[in-house]
Each structure stands twice: as C-alpha cells, then as structure tokens.
Homo-oligomer: A and B are copies of this chain.
Amino acid sequence: MANTDGFMDAALAEARDAAARGEVPVGAVLVLDGVIIARSGNRTRADNDVTAHAEIAVIRDASAALGQERLAGADLYVTLEPCTMCAAAISFARIRRLYYGAEDPKGGAVDNGVRFFSQPTCHHAPEVYSGLGETEAASLLTGFFRAKRED
C-alpha cells in the first residue's frame, strides 16, 4: 500500500516552510516508484514568477532531474486543490494520480471552477483523491491570510 500519509506529511512540511518565507503556504511532492523525486513549496515571491506554484515547481524540478518532459507513473501530492494553470500542467505531464488536501472553491480547477479534468480539451486526466491532510492544509492557509489582513 502506498505511503500516502507520509507523502502528504512531506507536502505539508513544504507548505509550512513556504509560510515561513512569506509565501502562500502550499506545498507539493512528486513521487515515482515510492520515492519522492521533487519537493517544493509555493515560491512565486522568491522567484518573481507567477507560475512558480508548488505543483509546477515539482513538475519542472522532476523533469529536469529525469531529463524528460512527461512524468507518466508519477503521483503528485499537494496540500491545496490545484488551480486552473496547475491542473492543465498536471495533465500535460501525464501525472498518474493526484492527491490533494483542502478544496479551493475560489481558485481550484479540479472539483471546483473549470473542473479541467472533465473537459473535452483535457487529453489526460489523473486519478484524483482529495481530503488527505485537509484540516492542517486549510488551517495553514487561513492562518496565513488572517495574519496578512492584520499586518
């Protein structure tokens, strides 16, 4: 059985690290054959790059490490429901399974928003499992945005 809890814990650790750097606290790990091959928090501020969401960061890092564009057979663990940009990138990378923590009604694109994986313009959809580590994933985000409002 896959060590799903351990992998989501690793993604949550990346989210906490992102928060400590002043980034929106979302974290992700990419797993291939039971091994984490890339891990990252959201790093849009650090990189001055709106595309540097945790999911895109791990896809790019893993592809660079493996020297290949597509990541067939790889599983992505991310603490928040992927947005429209990341859902499409996950599809392009041929990710096998997507595990995500908290839903994102405002910006998500898997079970909310454009529901990209169910659209005719989506040409590969991963299996999706949600709710892992949801409580901690959501509380990291609400804590972060509450602190920002109080700044």
Q: Does A109 sit at the interface, judged by CB under 8 A?
A: yes
Residues of A near any B CB (own CB < 8 A)? 44-45, 48-51, 56, 59-60, 63-64, 66-70, 83-89, 92-93, 106-109, 112-114, 116, 119-123
Q: Which 7 A-B pairs have the closest CB atoms?
A: A85-B88, A113-B121, A84-B88, A50-B92, A114-B114, A48-B63, A50-B93
Out of B60, B66, B87, B122, which one reaches A51, CB within 8 Å? B60
Taking the full assembly, how many copies of this chain does it contain? 2
- A67 with B50, Cβ < 8 A, contacts A85-B92, A120-B113 known: no
Residue ID in chain B nearest A44 by CB atoms = B69
Query: Nearest Cβ distance between residue A115 and chain B, in whole angstroms?
Result: 9
Contacts of A48 in B (CB 8 A): 63-64, 66-69
Contacts of A49 in B (CB 8 A): 60, 63-64, 69
Query: Nearest Cβ distance between residue A55 and chain B, in whole angstroms?
Result: 10
Q: Give 11 CB contacts A-B under 8 Å.
A: A48-B64, A50-B69, A83-B121, A85-B88, A85-B89, A88-B88, A112-B121, A113-B121, A114-B114, A114-B116, A114-B119
